[in-house]
Amino acid sequence: MPRFAVSPWTLVSPSMRSGEPAPLRRRCARRKAAAWTLVVLGLVTAAGCAVPAQAGPVIELSAAQIIAPGANRITDVYLDIRNNGPQTKLIGARLSVGGRITFRSPAHAGQLEMRTVSSITIPAKSLTGLDPNGSHMLVTGSGPMVAGRLITITLVFAHAGTFSVSAMVTNPQSGGFGYFLN
């Protein structure tokens, strides 16, 4: 049985260095290459395990609803925002039918009096609902919106980027279409 060198990474016996036949040297070289390949693959795999995987999109939008505007062409937009990342702010929005969007929030906690705000804070790792009694979006001067029609809402976040969702135009007076459709 051949005696191997002391190093665990050396797969060549001392007798091979001193004139072993070429086929045996090639076979040992292949084994050495295979061992190094396994070492490199193991290191790459271990390094990959140290990086946390992204669970999905940073922002997810759902349950979007636009109330059919009245004669004054003013309406509200409601939706749910799931933030899977760090805290951000909703800083802009637009509709596929145009119009001007302003952000509204309660003037004081627990009151229905609303005020216009420049942004809406979306806490980290949370679900934030833009709803009638809380922060929401007010739309003025938009194009036609008919109950049952889908409108695209595009939201701009300070640290998370731009995301879009389809929203159903609803008419609560006729009882048409529900809030939690998508």
Residue 50 is encoded by which pair of tokens?
């140290």
Q: What pLDDT digit, counting tens, does each position of 63-112 carry?
A: 999 999 988 889 999 999 999 999 999 999 999 999 999 999 998 877 78
Q: With 50 as the cut, is the pLDDT of residue 12 above it? A: no
**Among 150, 146, 139, which Cα is nearest to 73's?**
139
Residues forming beta bridges with residue 67, ordered by sequence position: 170
If pLDDT is split at 50, 70 and 90, which confidence band does 180 have? very low
Least confident of 46-50, 52-56, 81-85, 155-159: 46-50
Q: With 70 as the cut, is the pLDDT of residue 19 above it? A: no
> Considering the chain, what is the average pLDDT of its residues?
78
Q: With 70 as the cut, is the pLDDT of residue 10 above it? A: no
Residues forming beta bridges with residue 120, ordered by sequence position: 90
If pLDDT is split at 50, 70 and 90, which confidence band does 47 have? low
What is the 8-class DSSP label of residue 49?
H
Answer whether 135's CB lies under 8 Å from 129's CB.
no
CA distance 168 to 179: 8
pLDDT at 161: 93
% of the chain at pLDDT higher than 70: 64
Cα torsion 116, 119, 122, 127 to 10°: value is 40
Distances (CA, A) of 48 to 42, 52, 55, 56: 10, 9, 15, 18
Cβ neighbors of 28 (< 8 A, separation 6 or more) are 11, 12, 13, 16
